[in-house]
Each structure stands twice: as structure tokens, then as C-alpha cells.
């Protein structure tokens, strides 16, 4: 029974650690502009597959900046 509790505790700690990692990564994006995100990379791959070329530009907007 003790082994089951150990596994349950480890699963909970693993889940919390993963959430902490994602929160830290999102928080870091507020300070350091990412070169690209997973969504952007997958979208670029889709455009290359469908169109055979890519015309992609990206500008990072800091906090408080609004897109028009």
C-alpha cells in the first residue's frame, strides 16, 4: 500500500512541476522575446507544404503595445 501512495504522490508532484515549468516559460516570455512559438513553427511548415514557399515576418510587441 505504501508503494501505491508513493506513486500517487510522485504523479501529483510531476503534474505540479510541469505546471510550474509552463508558468515560468510564459512568465519569461514577458521579459525575453521568443524567436518563435510552436504554433508559428507548425504554421510555417503548413505553408511550405501547401504553397512550396513561405513569406513570414514577425514583430514582437512589448507589454502595452496594441496591434492595429
Q: What is the average per-residue pLDDT within 44-65?
A: 80
- For residue 29, give the H/E element and its range: helix 2-29
Give CA–CA dist 13/38, Å, rounded.
26
Distance CA 54, CA 15 (A): 37
Range 33-62 average pLDDT: 84
Residues 6+ apart with CB under 8 A from 33: 60, 62
Q: pLDDT by residue (tens digit) across 13-39?
A: 999 999 999 999 989 888 887 788 888
Amino acid at each position: 500500500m505504501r508503494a501505491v501512495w508513493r506513486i500517487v504522490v510522485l504523479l501529483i508532484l510531476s503534474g505540479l512541476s510541469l505546471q510550474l515549468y509552463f508558468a515560468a516559460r510564459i512568465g519569461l516570455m514577458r521579459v525575453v522575446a521568443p524567436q518563435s512559438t510552436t504554433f508559428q513553427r507548425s504554421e510555417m511548415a503548413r505553408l511550405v507544404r501547401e504553397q512550396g514557399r513561405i513569406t513570414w515576418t514577425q514583430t514582437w510587441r512589448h507589454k502595452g503595445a496594441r496591434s492595429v
